[in-house]
Structure 1
Amino acid sequence: MRDRLPAFPWDKLEPYKKTAAAHPGGIVDLSVGTPVDPVPESIQKALIAAADSPGYPTVWGTPELRDAITGWAERRLGARDLTHHHVLPIVGSKELVAWLPTQLGLGPGDKVAYPRLAYPTYEVGARLARAEHEVYDDVTALDPTGLKLLWLNSPSNPTGKVLGKEELTRIVAWAREHGVLVFSDECYFELGWEAEPVSVLHPDVCGGSYEGIVAVHSLSKRSNLAGYRAAFLVGDPAVLGPLLEIRKHGGMMTSAPTQAAVVAALADDTHVTQQRARYAARRTALRDALVRHGFRIEHSEASLYLWATREESCWDTVAHLADLGILVAPGDFYGSAGERFVRVALTATDERVAAAVERLSRA
């Protein structure tokens, strides 16, 4: 199994984490995008109210959950005419990314493509299925021969880049022309700052048809539910139907209390607005401090990260910031094209962000 997987990148960060933790003021960990703010009270109450759930949950979720997903997708993504057959709950988005090629039946000779700078699990998923993997800058420059799965990621992790409506429309048309299945990772959709994210499900992009396209959404970031493992798919029933059957056999079911919590989360936009405001303030403070410190910020128009460079090796930058007690992620975790960048997460408390700003301003 080990020969099928790349080395786990985060292990390489441990020495720098120890350096940062030794700072007299304590570590400011901006390396991993894990939420630190409280789960909204209404969601906690929904979870607690469903705590007496002795029976097995269903993989497809309750009718109330499916209603909540279709309603949210129509309200927020602009999708139209969705039914329960257009949605599928998943146990967090990472398990989906890692196991999707296998669940689709891909294997040797099949190709999976993903952005040149990307979440490492896209590659892991291809490797687990023993499929080939390929990176791209421009989707339409790919050779479609053998290409069975195309990953889009907008807003991007790590860069925060947003694909515009015209580009998405062009990509969907190309994929359909060549019979390539598109999965669009839109987990940071609610976190657009300088650009408004557009879903691949928007009728202006897909022409009102969901053929060959599926969007991936998560509640980890928008609702601080990373610990709940709550996400879902929306798109082509011809793709989701077989995935549902496979996932039934594999027991890949979201817990009943979590399903109830997701219903509550998707019904409430207020907590999302409040959380966005927290991240916006942290983003402004960190961005300004990094620029004053000599960094250049590229893209970063959306998502929970700043894609920053001092025009040097990412590991030199990681070491420099670790000496200030600040831990960030090296850009080469996301592909060799990131070797001169670092990813700076906005997911730290206001107090820790203020500490980072103060240290950057002093140095």
Structure 2
Amino acid sequence: MTTDDSSTPVTSNPDSERARISQRVGAIQPSATLAVDATAKALKAAGRPVIGFGAGEPDFPTPQHIVDAAIEAAQDPSTHRYSATGGLPELRSALAEAFSSTTGLEIEPAQVLVTNGGKQAVFQTFATLLDPGDEVLLPAPYWTTYPEAIRQAGAVEVPVLAGADQGYIPTVDQLEEARTERTRVLVLCSPSNPTGAVLTPEQVAEIGRWALEHGIWVVTDEIYHALTYEGMPFTSVLKAVPELAETTVLLGGVAKSFAMTGWRVGWMVGPADVIKAAGNLQSHLTSHVNNIAQRAALAALTGPSEPVEQMREAFDRRRRLIVEKLSAVPGFTVPTPTGAFYVFPDVSGALGREIRGKKVTTSTELATVILEEAEVAAVPGEAFGAPGHLRFSYALADDDIVEGIDRVAALLSE
């Protein structure tokens, strides 16, 4: 406390001396995909006939046997209490068994950590592996959360852009050019959000061997592993290069394949020491995942596979439909995705013009015009490190796909 010339006490104001929000948190950008989805839902609530292609969320209900398992769990008093931070033992065992099957390695339950959705798995993995100044090779287009999570760990993302001309898949030569002595981690996401691209077994092996040669950790997001099409196989990097077992963390969750986005169950799978350290972090951050949701996830993993296959077949039909419709939009170049439920057209041919009196020079401006004039919501490529593109999710009804893309085509044909 100080005084002025009249001896009146003056209390210092901490907010006048520094920002109210920390630099670390203040630098975080909101999720572009969730922002687009929220805008679309707000407009629909206001009575506008908006069709939203923004959110990566299946439009199917969670399969009934999973819901039934959750109801049964809710009535079991044992689920009403704290449980182990790492996850219910039976769920960790089921996950260890599943990953032993997909990787060909012997995965132990101690190598599994159950998290509150896939995003917590992403944040905890980077927090566990990275120190300030470390660099992360991030193939672009990339999911919007990766760079934010990397920065929160004090590290630096190094985007490696692969365009439509190479199927949105980076080459080893590109990765090598971006590598420095500070490179610590390589991120893989196959099938990809936002592009729907899937690495072939040969590409996975080539990239994996390169990472092994240079002592680089691999963080591989496999949440869309069950959603591939046209006979394209999913290949885990540990199946292709088992020698990476001590320097790889696999990420996933029940959200996409089982239509369980709201249940918030994800996981990390990796070396036991990494999983233990991440579990220590989680013990202070959120403790364990909701027990009822964990029991539902167990039912998803161990129950019948027919509902998952039925959803995959529906996504495949919608995939072919939206590619056909988007390919007819003036200025759009549309690579055919073979996984996930996204299509990522290059829209540079639709830029540099006026649309209903509005100058459109970027994909962000194009997305804004499409939303305002055609009442269709898509996510601009800038959010994914790939300007000149738009992401359309086809996790919505066939009729909405047809109506929405027809609106875009009509607008850009004027």
Q: TM-score, normalised by structure 1?
A: 0.88
* Per-residue deviation, 1:25: 7.1
Structure 2 CA distance for partners of 1:343 and 1:288, relative to 1, 3 Å:
same
Question: 1:133 and 2:157 equivalent?
Answer: yes
% identical equivalent positions: 26
1:190-269 equivalence runs, <5 A: 190-194=226-230, 195-202=232-239, 205-207=240-242, 210-267=245-302, 268-269=304-305
Instruction: Tell me the residue number matched to 2:397.
Output: 349
Aligned pair partner of 2:88 in 62, 81, 84: 62
* Per-residue deviation, 1:142: 3.1
Q: One-letter code of the match for 2:380? A: P
User: Is contact 1:57-1:256 (8 Å) kept?
Assistant: yes
User: Is contact 1:110-1:131 (8 Å) kept?
Assistant: yes
* Per-residue deviation, 1:207: 3.0
Q: One-letter code of the match for 1:115? A: P
Structure 2 CA distance for partners of 1:110 and 1:40, relative to 1, 3 Å:
same
Question: 1:115 and 2:139 equivalent?
Answer: yes
User: Is contact 2:222-2:251 (8 Å) kept?
Assistant: yes
Aligned pair partner of 1:304 in 328, 335, 341: 341
* Per-residue deviation, 1:196: 2.2
Q: One-letter code of the match for 1:67? A: S
1:45-73: CA deviations, max 9, x gaps?
11111114221122222221122212322
* Per-residue deviation, 1:272: 0.9
Instruction: Tell me the residue number matched to 2:317.
Output: 281
1:189-238: CA deviations, max 9, x gaps?
11112432211121xx1236612112111211100111011112223223
1:26-83: CA deviations, max 9, x gaps?
11100111222101000001111111422112222222112221232244x2433222
Question: 1:80 and 2:105 equivalent?
Answer: yes
Which of structures 1 and 2 has the larger relative contact order (alpha carbons within 8 angstroms, sep 6+)?
1
Range with bigger deviation, 255-264 or 228-237: 228-237
User: Is contact 1:279-1:346 (8 Å) kept?
Assistant: yes
Larger radius of gyration: 2
CA distance in 1, matches of 2:46, 2:82: 48
User: Is contact 1:200-1:215 (8 Å) kept?
Assistant: no
1:132-151 equivalence runs, <5 A: 132-136=156-160, 137=170, 138-151=174-187
Q: TM-score, normalised by structure 2?
A: 0.78
CA distance in 2, matches of 1:3, 1:74: 42
Determine helix, strand or coil for the equivalent of 1:297.
Answer: coil
Range with bigger deviation, 182-191 or 312-321: 312-321
Instruction: Tell me the residue number matched to 1:330.
Output: 380
Range with bigger deviation, 209-218 or 41-50: 209-218
RMSD: 2.7
User: Is contact 1:144-1:180 (8 Å) kept?
Assistant: no
